[in-house]
């Protein structure tokens, strides 16, 4: 299914600001649908004087008219004239009489979507409100108030007053909805209506009386403990002066508030305050933060322990008299240090994903310093980008590359001055890595069977489900990218299907 952005760009809406405005309107589609007890469809014009649906929201408070998704479809003939009139006149157009849609009587309202720009108001598209008249019953006071609120917001959409640019984008987890609790305020911040769910939410934080007729700001100040620091945005939210969000917490209960100022041609006439008991959600968020902090601390301690182990191995390598033992201890130190680098990166953030280019730069410097012998001079060079990898990819890949670069320096360039290149190529399906050295190539074309080679095979083939190939460059052997054309090349291919 095409997204709103794709459909908008396809119809010639090239301005990022215009598309962002449409996204903001569509983001409150559920609020409008629930307040209006109706389906809400967003239409934008096409090049052939028609309209195409780019967003659709079904009401959670009433039966939907559209059981199949109509996003991407062209407008039906019975709505086209009404929508075109609303678009061209920049005014709200109501259907003159009930219409039938799939054997159901409906009422349609067309609302122009207006964005105020530097050149004045600009009509971006049209919202249609499709009300199901088949289930007619006497409306309750709550339904009447909800419909009045919907009408106020529709008028604001038609004058470019909604949504407000200062309103936050990307709602926080647990953002309140109309059904969670709605409070209507007049221009002075006095409650003129409070839904039963809103009353219940305020009862749970300690207010036992009726909200209607009360100043919501005064009620909130009486609820909150005097010793608790309050959010600076709280006063403007509970008075309905700004389209912001905040939480109030008392008696172990947390209620999230969202204010929507109501305006008539720019003049504030009142506000809607949506409220929701988010106590459990906030507890879950706190638990996640605690868990993330714990994981971060674990990675930090593991990194410290690994660095300690690497230091001990380095000390032991310096003290040993056996050249073979010294080499083994040094290689073990490098492997431990490579793992420590990954854990050090993980300990710096909440994400378990790693910028592997940053990790590999540190590993490469470490390996080049340790592996080079007194009579060997290696110039290491990294080409391309590895990108971001999950930690389960980063650790084995860092270890494998540590082994390969170490082998390239110690064996491929032994007693020589030369280059080691690491070339990374990545697409959506795989990561391709080439490690090359400008040494003499594989002895007799054979691959070593030492511990390092076994470790690399186990990591690449076993843990990363990839493939690895050793070959000698030069002559008619194929090569791609980089500067080295003669020496040894190791090619690693890792599938990225789980990323």
Q: 9 and 133 share a domain?
A: yes
Between these two residues, 209 and 403, which has the higher pLDDT value? 209
Q: 215 and 288 share a domain?
A: no
pLDDT digits (tens, 9 = 90+) for 50-71: 999 999 999 987 888 898 889 9
Q: Write the burial class of residue 126 (CB in 10 Å: 0-12 exposed, 13-18 middle, 19+ buried).
A: buried
What does the block give as tokens for 373?
Answer: 């012998």
pLDDT over 90 at 123, yes or no: yes
Q: 384 and 334 share a domain?
A: no
Radius of gyration of the chain (CA): 33
Is residue 264 included in any domain, yes or no? yes
Q: 238 and 190 share a domain?
A: yes
Please tell me what DSSP assigns to residue 190: B
pLDDT at 498: 58
Write down the mean pLDDT value for the chain: 85
Q: What is the rounded distance in angstroms from the CA atom of residue 469 to the CA atom of residue 447?
A: 9
pLDDT at 475: 52
Per mean pLDDT, which of 12-16, 30-34, 243-247, 465-469 is the most reliable?
A: 30-34
Among 303-317, 356-370, 453-467, whose mean pLDDT is lowest? 356-370
| Domain end point (choices 350, 376, 401) | 350
Helical H segments across 320-386, by residue range: 323-346, 356-371
Is residue 171 included in any domain, yes or no? no
Q: 114 and 26 share a domain?
A: yes
Residue 139's pLDDT band (cuts 50, 70, 90)? confident
Is residue 270 included in any domain, yes or no? yes
pLDDT over 80 at 189, yes or no: yes
| Domain end point (choices 277, 311, 333) | 277
- Average of pLDDT values for 275-286? 88
pLDDT at 100: 81
- Average of pLDDT values for 316-321? 85
Apex CA 98: angle with CA 96 and CA 104, to 5°?
A: 160
pLDDT over 60 at 425, yes or no: yes
Residue 39's pLDDT band (cuts 50, 70, 90)? very high
Residue 456's pLDDT band (cuts 50, 70, 90)? confident
pLDDT at 162: 93
pLDDT at 373: 58
Please tell me what DSSP assigns to residue 205: T
pLDDT at 230: 66
Query: Does the CA dihedral 76-78-84-87 come out positive or negative?
Result: negative
What does the block give as tokens for 481?
Answer: 């990218």
- Average of pLDDT values for 325-354? 75
What CA–CA distances, in Å, run from 436 to 178, 412, 415, 484?
Answer: 62, 9, 17, 7
Helical H segments across 225-319, by residue range: 234-238, 279-319
What does the block give as tokens for 430?
Answer: 């795989």
- Average of pLDDT values for 95-111? 87
Domain span at 60: 4-159
pLDDT at 183: 97
pLDDT at 50: 95
Q: 364 and 494 share a domain?
A: yes
pLDDT digits (tens, 9 = 90+) for 150-180: 999 999 999 999 998 877 765 566 789 999 9
Q: 402 and 464 share a domain?
A: yes
Q: 226 and 301 share a domain?
A: no
| Domain end point (choices 262, 277, 292) | 277
Residue-wise DSSP of 66-135: -SS--TTPBPPHHHHHHHHHHHHHTS-EE-SS-EEETTEEEEEEEEEEEEEETTEEEEEEEEEEEEE-SS
- Average of pLDDT values for 118-123? 84
pLDDT at 92: 97
> What are residue 170's phi and psi, to 5 degrees?
65, 85
> What are residue 7's phi and psi, to 5 degrees?
-65, -40
Q: 22 and 82 share a domain?
A: yes
Is residue 166 included in any domain, yes or no? no
- Average of pLDDT values for 452-461? 85
Between these two residues, 243 and 351, which has the higher pLDDT value? 243
Angle formed by the axes of helices 29-36 and 16-27, to 10°? 40
Between these two residues, 487 and 450, which has the higher pLDDT value? 487
Percent of the chain with pLDDT over 70: 89
> Total domain count for the chain?
4
pLDDT at 99: 81
pLDDT over 70 at 448, yes or no: no
pLDDT at 165: 81
Residue 229's pLDDT band (cuts 50, 70, 90)? low
Q: 12 and 151 share a domain?
A: yes
pLDDT digits (tens, 9 = 90+) for 355-403: 888 888 877 777 666 555 566 677 888 899 998 888 888 888 888 888 8
User: The whole model's pTM is what?
Assistant: 0.65
pLDDT over 60 at 443, yes or no: yes
Which CATH number belongs to the domain containing residue 267 in this structure? 3.30.450.20
3-state secondary structure 169-189: CCCCCCCCCHHHCEEEEECCC
pLDDT over 60 at 478, yes or no: no
Distance of CA 301 to the CA centre of its chain: 29
pLDDT at 349: 61
Q: 296 and 339 share a domain?
A: yes
Is residue 167 included in any domain, yes or no? no
């Amino acid at each position: 299914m095409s997204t709103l952005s794709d459909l908008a760009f396809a119809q010639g809406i090239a301005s990022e600001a215009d598309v962002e405005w449409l996204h903001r309107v569509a983001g409150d589609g559920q609020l409008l649908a629930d307040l209006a007890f109706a389906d809400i469809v967003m239409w934008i014009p096409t090049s052939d004087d028609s309209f195409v649906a780019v967003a659709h929201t079904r009401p959670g408070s009433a039966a939907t008219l559209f059981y199949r998704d109509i996003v991407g479809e062209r407008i039906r003939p019975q709505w086209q004239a009404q929508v075109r009139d609303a678009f061209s006149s920049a005014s709200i157009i109501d259907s003159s009489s009930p219409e039938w849609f799939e054997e159901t009587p409906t009422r349609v309202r067309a609302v122009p979507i207006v964005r105020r720009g530097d050149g004045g108001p600009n009509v971006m598209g049209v919202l249609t409100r499709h009300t199901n008249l088949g289930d007619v019953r006497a409306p309750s006071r709550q339904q009447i108030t909800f419909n009045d609120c919907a009408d106020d917001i529709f008028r604001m959409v038609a004058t470019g007053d909604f949504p407000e640019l200062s309103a936050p984008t990307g709602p926080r987890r647990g953002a309140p909805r109309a059904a969670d609790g709605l409070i209507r305020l007049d221009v002075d911040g006095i409650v003129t209506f409070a839904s039963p769910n809103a009353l219940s939410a305020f009862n749970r934080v300690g207010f036992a009386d009726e909200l209607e007729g009360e100043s919501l700001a005064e009620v909130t100040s009486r609820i909150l403990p005097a010793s608790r620091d309050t959010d600076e945005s709280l006063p403007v939210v509970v008075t309905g002066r700004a389209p912001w969000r905040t939480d109030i917490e008392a008696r172990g209960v947390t209620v999230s508030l969202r204010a929507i100022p109501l305006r008539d041609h720019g003049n504030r006439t009142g506000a809607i305050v949506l409220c929701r008991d988010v106590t459990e959600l906030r507890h879950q968020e706190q638990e996640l933060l605690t868990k993330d902090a714990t994981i971060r601390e674990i990675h930090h301690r593991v990194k410290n322990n690994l660095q300690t182990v690497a230091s001990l191995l380095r000390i032991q390598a310096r003290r040993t008299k056996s050249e073979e033992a010294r080499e083994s201890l040094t290689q073990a130190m490098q492997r431990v240090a490579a793992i420590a680098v990954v854990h050090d990166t993980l300990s710096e953030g909440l994400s378990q994903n790693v910028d592997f280019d940053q990790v590999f730069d540190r590993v490469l410097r470490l390996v080049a310093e340790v592996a080079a012998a007194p009579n060997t001079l290696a110039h290491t060079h990294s080409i391309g980008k590895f990108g971001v990898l999950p930690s389960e990819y980063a650790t084995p890949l860092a270890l494998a590359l540590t082994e390969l670069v170490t082998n390239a320096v110690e064996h491929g360039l032994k007693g020589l001055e030369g280059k080691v290149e690491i070339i990374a190529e990545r697409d959506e399906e795989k990561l391709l890595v080439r490690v090359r050295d400008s040494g003499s190539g594989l002895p007799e074309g054979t691959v070593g069977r030492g511990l390092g080679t076994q470790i690399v095979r186990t990591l690449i083939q076993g843990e990363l489900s990839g493939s690895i190939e050793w070959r000698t460059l030069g002559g008619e052997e194929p090569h791609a990218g980089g500067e080295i054309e003669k020496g040894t090349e190791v090619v690693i291919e890792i599938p990225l299907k789980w990323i």
